[in-house]
Amino acid sequence: MRTVGVEEELLLVDPETGEPRALSAAVLARASRYQEAEEPPVFERELHSQMLELATHPHSGMGELAEELVRIRGDAARHAREAGCAVAALATSPLPVSPSVSMGRRYQWMAEQYGIATREQLVCGCHVHVSVGSDEEGVAVIDRIRPWLSVLSALSANSPFWQGRESGYSSYRSRVWQRWPSAGPTELFGSAESYHRRVADMVATGTILDEKMVYFDARLSARYPTVEVRVADICLHAETAALVATLVRGLVETAAREWEAGKEPLDHSVSLLRLAGWRAARSGLTGDLLHPETLRHAPAETVVGALLAHVEDALADSGDLERACASSAELLRHGNGSQLQQEVWERTGSLREVVIMCVRHTQS
């Protein structure tokens, strides 16, 4: 069974005011006290000092993955409290902030190269890694999952506010992320050779520093033998993150089976895939989405159902079908992170209360 690992980016905030705090160095210093010498670090710094990245181990069981996410989020909250702040699973800060770019050659190069786009990139995502047997299989998977990724963006949407204002989007993080020159959906590659040639050509332009800065919606990981899917907001609840990871594994397994059976990928253009991504970011689960097979409007419930049907066999074989269906129905019934944030805002008129609610829900 394919293993799955998750990387999440948490926002560090003041527990009283809800404003972002540039305390990642202090939080990491406290986390290092509990780190086993032989273990890879669970927490790492990110582009901005108001962010903290966490990474799970690879798991075969999605229940185990969900449990580890809850545990690591709890550890992050404890380390943050010791440093005088709190962690919030927010994909953007509802309150105004002037982000602080972390020190280091890589981040400083990005600040010089991309200017305001770097300074404003205080956004927190969820990246899912799924194991593949080879680069050839990985690229075949990337080609075949492209149309379905916008549905993951809609499910995970958790960023309706930007710099103290309503953005009009369910996932404004994804719109800010698109400012990177290498971000977004990709054309069909057809082979691992073509994929690696494209990446090498992009690096050769000097516009990006190295292959780690190829920010495709789905890419071959530069560190692990995995396909890495990067379209999701950090989810308010760990259970939603586990659902996204489950669906990603289902997509990867389904795509690999299609490749082995000789089934060609859907040849949707990048232009239309961008529209699907925009529609998901705008509407989340509250309006129509573009159906991955037809790229025509359909209700969110219909599109989520189509995704579940598409990966049904893979989810059934891994024992994840019942849980994925139940979690999806729960999201459609009660709302994702973006909807919960909007509900608090409409009830209280206070973005501080929105942040405090998210701090509370981050560990649930």
**Verdict on whether the full-model pTM lies above 0.85:** yes
Residues 6+ away with beta carbon under 8 Å from 194: 139
pLDDT of 237 over the 80 cut:
yes
Residues 6+ away with beta carbon under 8 Å from 93: 11, 13, 19, 20, 50, 122, 161, 163, 355
pLDDT of 28 over the 70 cut:
yes
pLDDT of 37 over the 70 cut:
no
pLDDT at 39: 74
If DSSP codes are grouped into helix, strand and coil, which group holds residue 265? Answer: coil
**Could you tell me the domains of the chain?**
4-362 (3.30.590.20)
| DSSP calls for 173-233 | HHHHHTTSTT-B------SHHHHHHHHHHHHHTTSSSSGGG--BSEEE-SSSSEEEEEEEE
Among 26-35, 82-91, 333-342, the range scoring the smallest mean pLDDT is: 26-35
pLDDT at 311: 98
Instruction: Please state, in angstroms and rounded to a whole number, the distance separating the CA atoms of residues 158 and 297.
Output: 22
Q: Is-contact 88 355, C-beta < 8 A?
A: yes
Pairing of strands 43-44, 218-220: unpaired
pLDDT of 188 over the 90 cut:
yes
For the chain, the average pLDDT equals 96
Chain centroid offset of residue 115 CA: 24
C-alpha distances out from residue 93 to 51, 123, 322, 341, 352, Å: 11, 8, 34, 11, 10
Burial level of 159, CB count in 10 A (0-12/13-18/19+)? Answer: buried
Q: Find the mean pLDDT for residues 138-152.
A: 98
Instruction: Please state, in angstroms and rounded to a whole number, the distance separating the CA atoms of residues 316 and 56.
Output: 24
Residue 295 amino acid letter: L
CA-angle at 106, arms to 72 and 29, nearest 5°: 35
Instruction: Please state, in angstroms and rounded to a whole number, the distance separating the CA atoms of residues 268 and 293.
Output: 9
pLDDT at 103: 86
pLDDT of 364 over the 90 cut:
no
Name the percent of the chain lying above pLDDT 70.
99
pLDDT at 113: 96
pLDDT at 363: 82
pLDDT at 76: 97
pLDDT of 34 over the 90 cut:
no
pLDDT of 33 over the 90 cut:
no
Q: Virtual CA dihedral for 56, 59, 61, 62, nearest 10 degrees?
A: 30
What would the pLDDT profile of 288-328 be if each residue is shown by its tens digit? 999 999 999 999 999 999 999 999 999 999 999 999 999 99
Closest CA to 65 of 74, 55, 76, 50: 55
Residues recorded for the chain: 364
pLDDT at 38: 64
Residue ranges of E strands in the chain: 4-13, 43-44, 51-55, 86-88, 125-131, 161-162, 165-166, 218-220, 226-233, 288-290, 297-299
